[in-house]
Structure 1
Amino acid sequence: MHRARRHSAVHSTVTETPVITTSGLSKVYRSRGREVTALDGVDLHVREGEVYGVLGQSGAGKSTLIRCVNLLERPTSGTVTVAGQDLTALAGRGPRAGRSLRQARSRIGMVFQHFNLLSARTVQDNVELPLEILGVSGRERSRRALELLDLVGLGDKAKAYPAQLSGGQKQRVGIARALAGDPKVLLSDEATSALDPETTRAILELLRDLNRQLGLTVLLITHEMDVVKTICDSAALMRGGRIVESGTVPELLATPGSELAQALFPVGGEPSAADRTVIDVTFHGDAATRPVISELARTYNIDISILGAAMDTVAGKQVGRMRIELPGRFEENVVPIGFLREQGLQVDVADTAQPAPAAATLLKEGAK
């Protein structure tokens, strides 16, 4: 029950057990003799207890993906497994969801971008709606709805109507409603993109708290890099209906040439002359607080120019990237670069002639 889970003192931890798996997932729309491929063989593995972010530009397929996870969209091919159940096997051949699929879907919470609240119902009634559909008795519906509203910080708004709420409060109602079926999985479809930055931070903190307190696995789509920085344990980049890059955030930050890492921590800067070596250095853990660059300058008696730097906290851990310039060509700096790598740093030689990675444009993209 929600009450027991909510008051548990044990915070959820990420395990290696996948709770959401898609295999070869494809979705093709057909209209007037034309075919449009929205998903093209997507393999996704979301581990139990983690917050997983899917990023992509408009038309990348991320909205279709999350709607296929709970089969609001029927995949053309491939499989979707959630909490050990193959939802595609439950779907059958008809256009309407059968009883088994409806029961499985009731255990998957869904939070929408534009709230989707019923204006004629009170806040409490909106939260009770999925319980009413499930046939839960009136007294139990009321008890659980009030408990959930208290959980999301709206215990005093039960009798209010959606028109009387702010955007952030409406989204909190949407989250409470998504939790009504006591789900193991929570899906978030651009839940913060319609909110101002301060409200966005509050909603993200709420999602992270629910992830930890209730043991929820959260799959969200977003175009905002700050969402990944703030709450995501893992992330994937979609392009053209495919996942082109994925992994835990630490793995991505440690991967040479990672588009997501460069978009999360964009650093720039051009060499001052042709005979210079420009490198990007990524700092993790203890190395993020050590004076490694000054140690390098003293050890090898070389002048180092800092061209750009970014430092932030990701999933509660300090991470930073820095672009520095070393005198001389690469062949003359093999030893200093080796020194940095011996300190546990990720070091990539920057190709300053290349344009910014495509993922960086997500910072400016709107959601569709």
Structure 2
Amino acid sequence: MITTKDLTKVYTSRGGRTTALRGVDLHVREGEVYGVVGTSGAGKSTLIRCVNMLERPSSGTVTVDGVELTALPGTEQRAGRELRAARQRIGMVFQHFNLLASRTVQQNVELPLEIRGLDRTARRRRAGELLELVGLADKAQSYPKQLSGGQKQRVGIARALAGDPRVLLSDEATSALDPQTTRSILQLLRRLNQELGLTVLLITHEMDVIKSVCDSAALMREGRIVEAGPLTELIATDGSALARELFPLSEFGAGHGGSTVVEVTFQGDSSGRPFISQLARTYQIDLNILGAAVETIGGRQVGRMRVELPGSHQDNVVPIGYLREQGLQVDVLTENGTLA
């Protein structure tokens, strides 16, 4: 549904050149919620603005819903007719709402329909349907200043859906909201994804957002995607940086001298099995659980556990092999807590 190939964006100013994107390859499948996560300055917002051509890439291609947007004529300041038509299939939700203070909630939702030339009756009917969808039918005649932050973002989402888009882009849409409101907005995005068949691409710096709503994710650093894929596959990948950030266990330490510390990743059916107690009984090992983190992602329970085994790595080859035979991912840590 969304594909970028070798995407590069370079900004030129009097101070020199700044490269925001460095050959980004991204593939978002139809109907999924895809998150791009990274720290400030990683290039996330530039990427999403290139996807809908608010920023024209310096090189590379962007294809959305089968249309190569980078091949369509137009500039950042003035889009051509074909590009404008393609953009109507892409909804955009911004961090700071961007609502017009002088317009009511209903009038804000009607704005893109008004620009498209729909008559008043059609605009009102569609705006009413969308406000009902996002749970704000009773706020239609209110003004933005009368709304909470979460309500303003719901208006922004309704407005983004006005053109019946196939794709919804979210640029840090929850970063200005409190945790409870963030959860409600993410639940709304997931519901819209499921009910409307929307493909959702969201930008965030919060791992909790990735864990709670995304099917797939990409980790960005310094303008590059360093890791990407379905979350369940990333979590099962040896040495996955994204998995380690989703389930941080570093605060639990690396055990004591003369022992072997392993991190065990489990998901799906294996999450309900007592594999640690079975290991202790089978090999009569006095092991020590240093820490664990368990989450539900995409309806599946996923977790990681840090376990200390007595003796050297060589002494524990058989117990580690036993865990791997159970379908578990097992990573051995060095004394300083890094992967061996």
> Normalising to structure 1: TM-score of the pair?
0.90
| Deviation of the 1:317 alpha carbon | 1.1
Distance 1:136 1:161 in 2: 22
Q: CA deviation at 1:315?
A: 1.5
Asked if 1:263 is matched to 2:241, the reply is no
**Contact persistence 2:56–2:76 (CA under 8 A):** no
Among 8, 25, 29, which residue is 2:7 paired with? Answer: 25
Partner of 2:281: 298
Question: How far does the alpha carbon of each residue in 1:296-319 deviate from its partner, in whole angstroms, 9 at most, with x for none?
Answer: 000001111001111111111111
1:96 deviation in Å?
Answer: 1.2
Partner of residue 316, structure 2: 333
Number of the residue aligned with 1:345: 328
- Could you say what secondary structure the match of 1:193 adopts? coil
Q: Deviation per CA, 1:187-241, whole angstroms, max 9, x where unpaired? A: 0000000000000000000000000000000000001111111110000000110
Q: Answer yes or no: is 1:315 the counterpart of 2:298.
A: yes
1:103 maps to amino acid? A
Q: 1:145 aligns with which of 127, 145, 154?
A: 127
Partner residue, 1:180: 162
Match status 1:278 vs 2:261: yes
Percent of residue pairs identical: 71
Task: Indicate the SS of the match to 1:237.
Answer: strand
Q: Displacement, 1:272?
A: 4.0
Counterpart amino acid of 1:215? G
What are the superposed Cα offsets for residues 88-119 of structure 1, whole Å, 9 maximum, x if unpaired?
11134684111111111111000000100000
Q: What is the letter of the counterpart of residue 330 of structure 1?
A: H
Structure 1 distance, partners of 2:73, 2:205, is: 30
Q: 1:132/1:310 Cα in 2 relative to 1: closer, same or farther (>3 Å)?
A: same
Paired with 1:191 and 1:302, the residues of 2 have a C-alpha distance of 49
1:273: Cα distance to partner? 2.9
Aligned equivalents of 1:215 and 1:24: distance in 2? Answer: 28
The CA distance in 2 between the partners of 1:158 and 1:150, in whole Å, is: 10
Q: Indicate the residue corresponding to 1:120 in structure 2.
A: 102
2:201 match: secondary structure = strand
The aligned length equals 338
What's the CA shift for 1:355?
A: 6.6
Q: Secondary structure at the match of 2:41?
A: coil
Alignment of 1:49-68 (within 5 A): 49-68=31-50
After superposition, what is the alpha-carbon deviation per residue over 1:159-180, rounded to whole angstroms, capped at 9, x for unaligned? 0000000000000000000000
Find the counterpart in structure 2 of residue 136 from structure 1: 118
* TM-score, normalised by the number of residues in structure 2: 0.97
**1: CA distance, partners of 2:337 / 2:307:** 17
Is contact 1:270-1:352 (8 Å) kept?
Answer: no
2:49 aligned with 1:35 = no
Q: What SS class does the counterpart of residue 245 from structure 1 fall into?
A: strand
Unaligned runs of 5+ in 1: 1-18, 357-368
Structure-2 residue corresponding to 1:7: none
| Conservation of the 8 A alpha-carbon contact between 1:189 and 1:221 | yes
Residue matched to 1:360: none
CA distance in 2 between counterparts of 1:230 and 1:266 reads: 16
Match of 2:81 in 1: 99
Q: What is the aligned counterpart of 1:209 among 171, 179, 191? A: 191
Q: Give the distance between the partners of 2:75 and 2:95, measured in 1 at CA.
A: 30
Letter in 2 for 1:144: R
SS at match of 1:48: coil
User: In the superposition, relative to structure 1, how do residues 178 and 352 fare at CA in structure 2: closer, same or farther (>3 Å)?
Assistant: farther
Q: Secondary structure at the match of 2:138?
A: coil
- CA contact 2:260–2:313 (8 Å) conserved in 1: yes
Q: 1:56 to 1:271 in 2, by over 3 A?
A: closer
Alignment partners' CA distance in 1, 2:287 and 2:261: 10
What residue number does 1:236 align with?
A: 218
Secondary structure in 2 matching 1:143: helix
Once residues 283 and 231 of structure 1 are traced to their aligned partners in structure 2, the CA distance between those partners, rounded to angstroms, is 19
Contact 2:6 2:25 (C-alpha < 8 Å) held by counterparts: yes
Aligned mates of 1:45, 1:34 — CA distance in 2: 31
Match of 2:144 in 1: 162
d(CA) in 2 for partners of 1:270, 1:164: 49
Quick one: structure 1 residues 265 and 352, their matched pair in 2 at CA, closer, same or farther if it must change by over 3 Å?
Answer: farther
Unaligned runs of 5+ in 2: none
CA contact (8 A) 1:109 1:186 kept: yes
RMSD of aligned residue pairs (Cα, Å): 1.3
* Cα distance in 2 for residues equivalent to 1:118 and 1:162: 8
Judge which range, 93-102 or 254-263, deviates more: 93-102
- Give distance in 2, aligned partners of 1:225 and 1:43: 21
- Any conservation in 1 of the 2:92–2:168 contact (CA below 8 Å)? yes
